[in-house]
Amino acid sequence: SSRFPERGVWASNWPHPNVKPVPDDARMLDWTMRLTESDEVRRKMLVDNPAELYGF
């Protein structure tokens, strides 16, 4: 979320086992981008937070 960007991580649950119809990952990512107000927040959710969480 944009309110607490240090706590957010975007995920798609790809390859979506046992989900029909299969969600459109591009649409979900576009929706997430519309919810976040800045490139800084997007970078935290898509790059920095996952790197810290998974240690890479």
pLDDT of residue 5: 85
Cβ–Cβ < 8 Å for 22, 16: yes
User: Which pLDDT tens digit goes with each residue over 1-56?
Assistant: 467 888 888 887 888 888 899 999 899 889 988 988 899 999 999 999 999 999 98
pLDDT of residue 13: 82
What's the token pair of residue 51?
């790197």
pLDDT of residue 2: 61
Using left for φ > 0, alpha for ψ between -120 and 50, and beta otherwise, residue 45 falls in: alpha
